[in-house]
Structure 1
Amino acid sequence: MTIVEPGVFKTRLGESAVQPPRTIDAYAPAADQLPRLYDRTPGNLEGAAQTIVSIAGRPDAPLRFYVGNALDDVRRHYHQRLDE
């Protein structure tokens, strides 16, 4: 079994997302830091899909498989959280 952890990909998923009519001030600091936390460059969706299919069912497949950009950012944030 492999847990696929996808990064940022350009898809149509967010096209129907609705922006709230107003923001909540308490969330502003978190929202402001999001662009600096992770590389938001979309990954190669077709390449990721092919890679996922290639490891599916393999006995040597990893437990966790991150696809997309910003893996170094994700690792850094995981380690920071674990250290806390």
Structure 2
Amino acid sequence: MTTEVTQVTVEELATLMKTAAGVTVDPGELERRADSTFAEFGLDSLGLLGIVGELENRHGRALPNDAERCKSPRAFLDLVNVALTTGA
């Protein structure tokens, strides 16, 4: 049985920011400002760590250690999606 790996979207990241870190951000704004820092959206390192943990639980695999050190939504999504699709 194969499990289809789906990529984490901007919308999912915005939802995770709200549920895991209590930071509300409009997905459209997150997409438009994807190269802005997480700090500019009000997300700190502990909030990002919570998001990483939630994604690891959902996908049943560890994400790269660098995921919790990403500075921008674009860098985070790029790293996470490559890891989920390649198993790296």
Range into which the TM-score falls when normalised by the shorter chain: under 0.3
TM-score normalised by L of structure 1: 0.25
TM-score normalised by L of structure 2: 0.24
The structure carrying a bigger strand percent of its residues is 1
| Higher RCO (CA < 8 A, seq sep 6+) | 1
Larger radius of gyration: 1
